[in-house]
Amino acid sequence: MTVKENLQKIEDEIIAACQRSGRDPDVVKLIAVTKYVTVERTQEAIDSGIFHIGENRVEGILEKEETITGAINWHFIGSLQSKKVKKIISKIHYLHSLDRLALAEEIQKRWSKSEPLKCFVQVNVSGEESKSGLNPKEAITFVKNLEQYPAIEVVGLMTMAPFVEDPEETRPVFKQLRLLQQDVQALALQHAPCEELSMGMSNDYIVAVEEGATFLRIGSSLVG
Ligand SMILES: *Cc1c(COP(=O)(O)O)cnc(C)c1O
């Protein structure tokens, strides 16, 4: 399948899910996760009308960023070791995996632009041991503590749902992230507008859209 064909199908599903849940489809943005595919396939995605590219490895971002052309927003979606921050900090537009103050500290040290880096605080809503992210109980305090780092703007929250046969089972996870987002928004913190929700992958993006996702991270069913 071409990326264009996959994209058409996914966009149709997003529109239908928005209609069911009374949402505006224009606020749902699609990140093509290109970690499994080549530079050529990534370029095909961009030529098909994708503006957001996501990678979970530092090497992946560097390799693709070097060769690919177009007006692209680069998203780092994997766990990021502090010592690797300096390699990619100037290449990325969004970080989806902010989960500890030591990482914020390192970003602060390396950041050189006047606008802060757009970050998602990653929350491990499901509590699976294999997943990174903060315990939901710690998330509010963590977000407050980020105020001391002017290089960081908390644009939203991010989570990964467990992989399950029936995507319907992921709904409570997405719902809980949205409730947590409301708690953060109620604080009205200047450094944490928290207007975005990064949630939904190939297996569960339809449910995620119904529950309020604004950034979907889709790999296998979009680019392969
Ligand atoms: C790989 C990955 C995705 C995309 O997964 P698919 O199931 O292929 O859509 C999304 N988010 C993160 C953090 C990932 O590592």
Q: How do residues 71-109 score in pLDDT, each as one tens digit?
A: 899 999 999 999 999 999 999 999 999 999 999 999 999
* Bridge partners of residue 215, in order along the sequence: 29, 198
**Rg, Å, the chain Cα set:** 17
pLDDT of residue 18: 98
Our mutation pick for probing the ligand 1 site, out of 31, 36, 56, counting the most ligand atoms within 8 A of Cβ, is 56
80 within ligand 1 shell (Cβ under 6 A): no
Contact 184, 154 (CB under 8 A): yes
Which residues touch 59 (CB under 8 Å, ≥6 apart)? none
Ligand 1 mutation target, pool 9, 14, 35, most atoms within 8 A of CB = 35
The verdict on the CB of residue 202 being under 6 Å from ligand 1 is: yes
Per the prediction, the chain carries an average pLDDT of 97
The architecture that CATH gives domain 3-223 is Alpha-Beta Barrel (3.20)
Q: Tell the residue nearest (CA) to atom 6 of ligand 1.
A: 219
Q: Is the CB of 160 under 6 A from ligand 1?
A: yes
Tens digit of each residue's pLDDT (9 = 90 or more) over 171-211: 999 999 999 999 999 999 999 999 999 999 999 999 999 99
Could you tell me which residues come within 8 angstroms of residue 85 by beta carbon, excluding any fewer than 6 positions away? 103, 106, 107, 110
